[in-house]
């Protein structure tokens, strides 16, 4: 049987080249052809060897002791930020250096202007403010939106709304820039231990009266005494008028804007009071991260401009 098919193949190939077998037989009669490799394949194989040798010469390839061959003719050359010409063997890090320098050079006209201009000047100039706005929008999405939300509306109770015109730490360009540069820590102690639950109830009643809610007169009067007296000592941070102080980011309690107590979404006075009591009992300790280590001065400047614009600023 095997000899049959063997002779058939030989026959069909004609007499040009008789196919050899490898010479050994398995299981008595199974043999293996030993066809020569196609010529194109053999040459392709030699070509890869030649390619490898050329590659060794041109690119980093061979380790030598604690160093390695760097290759010839594959230098990357660019002018760095300080104007120095740098030549190094090609590598992805140097390519990045080169691309960053080039990108900066393309934006240089605008970046220099932004670096030199005050935020007020940026806001006044259409070209500058358009460029600053488009850059800041991306920065805000990458760095700020996770807390302050896209658009800056914030999360009541956790992250302040930047798109309204109410500022804990001041809404001038300078204030906002300081906030972003150094971060902020909004701190109010917990009064759970210091005040009885009736007293917390009274002082919450008073807090709601500050923002023109219709409250119980007797309770409000008792609450006022606690707020402005030694017992609560709220006035120390929130002022006697309850308007808060920018220097310590203590919220203005007289406007109808709430950053921690979710008063607006509660329907009844009781529910609103519960929200306020929650803040008084638990206290506050929330942190705005420091950005001066992550972002450049110019980036912070245009973010301040962007945030200022979101909220209308002051």
Partner 1 sequence: MKHETIETNAAWLIVLVFIVISIGGLAEIVPLYFIDDTVEDVKVDGIETVRPYSPLEVRGRDIYMREGCYLCHSQMIRPFRDEALRYGHYSLAAESKFDHPFQWGSKRTGPDLARVGKKYSNQWHVEHLTAPRSVVKESIMPNYPWLLKTDLEYKDIAERMKALKMVGVPYSETKAEYEANVKRFGKDVAKFLDVNQAENNLMAQALANNYDGNKSNITEMDALVAYLQVLGTMVDFSKFEDGYFSTFR
Give contact residues for ligand HEC (rule: CB under 6 A).
143-144, 146-148, 159-160, 162, 167-169, 176, 179-180, 184, 186-189, 191, 203, 207, 227, 232-234, 236-238, 248-251, 253, 258-261, 276, 279-280, 284, 286-289, 291, 303, 307
Stretch touching partner 1 by CB under 8 A, among 153-161, 201-209, 244-252, 268-276:
153-161
Does 83 help bind partner 1 (rule: CB under 8 A)?
Answer: no
Does 294 help bind partner 1 (rule: CB under 8 A)?
Answer: yes
Beta-bridge partner residues of 67: 64
290, interface contact from partner 1, ligand HEC, none, CB < 5-8 Å by kind: partner 1
Structure tokens given for 184: 């902020």
Please identify, using beta-carbon distances, which residue of 253 and 284 lies nearer to partner 1.
284
Please give the Cα distance from 238 to 245 (Å, whole number): 6
Looking at 45, 55, 68, 236, which residue binds partner 1 (CB under 8 A)? 68
68, interface contact from partner 1, ligand HEC, none, CB < 5-8 Å by kind: partner 1
Please give the Cα distance from 105 to 200 (Å, whole number): 60
Stretch touching partner 1 by CB under 8 A, among 9-17, 167-175, 269-277, 283-291:
283-291
Structure tokens given for 68: 């390695």
C-beta separation of 292 from 145 below 8 A: no
Looking at 147, 237, 257, 274, which residue binds partner 1 (CB under 8 A)? 147
Touching partner 1, residues 109-138 (CB under 8 A): 138
61, interface contact from partner 1, ligand HEC, none, CB < 5-8 Å by kind: none
Of 83, 66, 84, 86, nearest to 75 by C-alpha is 86
Per-residue contact flags (x/-) with partner 1 for residues 5 to 44, judged by CB under 8 A:
-------------------x--------------------
Does 95 help bind partner 1 (rule: CB under 8 A)?
Answer: yes
Angstrom CA distances, 299 to 108, 140, 178, 239, stand at: 14, 10, 13, 35
Looking at 7, 17, 118, 158, which residue binds partner 1 (CB under 8 A)? 158
Write down the residue that tokens 């077998």 correspond to. 21
66, interface contact from ligand HEC, partner 1, none, CB < 5-8 Å by kind: partner 1
Pairs from 108-111 (Cβ < 8 Å, separation ≥ 24) = 111/298
Looking at 92, 196, 247, 268, which residue binds partner 1 (CB under 8 A)? 92
Structure tokens given for 265: 């979404």
Does 82 help bind partner 1 (rule: CB under 8 A)?
Answer: yes
Looking at 6, 31, 74, 94, which residue binds partner 1 (CB under 8 A)? 94
Looking at 3, 12, 38, 66, which residue binds partner 1 (CB under 8 A)? 66
C-beta separation of 10 from 19 below 8 A: yes
Residue numbers of the site for partner 1 (CB under 8 A)?
Answer: 24, 63, 65-68, 80-82, 86, 88, 91-97, 99-100, 103, 138, 142-143, 146-147, 149, 155, 158-159, 286-290, 293-294
């Amino acid at each position: 049987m095997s000899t049959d098919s063997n002779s058939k193949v030989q026959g069909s190939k004609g007499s040009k080249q008789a196919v050899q077998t490898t010479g050994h037989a398995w299981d008595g009669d199974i043999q293996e052809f030993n066809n020569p490799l196609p010529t194109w394949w053999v040459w392709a194989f030699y070509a890869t060897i030649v390619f490898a040798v050329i590659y060794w010469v041109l690119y980093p390839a061979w380790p030598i002791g604690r160093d390695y061959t760097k290759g010839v003719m594959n230098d990357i050359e660019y002018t760095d930020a300080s104007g120095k010409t740098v030549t190094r063997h090609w590598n992805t890090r140097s390519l990045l250096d080169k691309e960053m320098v080039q990108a900066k050079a393309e934006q240089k006209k605008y970046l220099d202007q932004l670096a030199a201009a005050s935020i007020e000047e940026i806001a006044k100039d259409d070209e500058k403010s358009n460029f600053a706005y488009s850059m800041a929008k991306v920065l805000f999405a990458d760095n700020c939106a996770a807390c302050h939300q896209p658009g800056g509306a914030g999360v009541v109770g956790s992250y302040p709304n930047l798109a309204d015109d109410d500022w804990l730490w001041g809404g001038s360009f300078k204030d906002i820039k300081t906030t972003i540069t150094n971060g902020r820590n909004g701190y109010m102690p917990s009064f759970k231990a210091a005040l009885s639950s009736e007293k917390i109830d009274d002082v919450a009643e008073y807090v709601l009266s500050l923002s023109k809610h219709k409250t119980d007169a007797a309770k409000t009067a008792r609450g006022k005494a606690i707020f402005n007296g030694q017992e609560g000592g709220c006035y120390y941070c929130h002022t006697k008028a309850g308007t808060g102080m920018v220097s310590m980011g203590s919220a203005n309690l007289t406007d109808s804007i709430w950053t921690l107590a979710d008063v607006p979404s509660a329907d009844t006075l009781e529910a609103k009071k519960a929200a306020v009591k929650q803040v008084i009992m638990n206290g506050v300790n929330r942190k705005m991260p420091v950005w001066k280590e992550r972002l450049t001065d110019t980036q912070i400047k245009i973010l301040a401009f962007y945030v200022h614009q979101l909220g209308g600023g002051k």
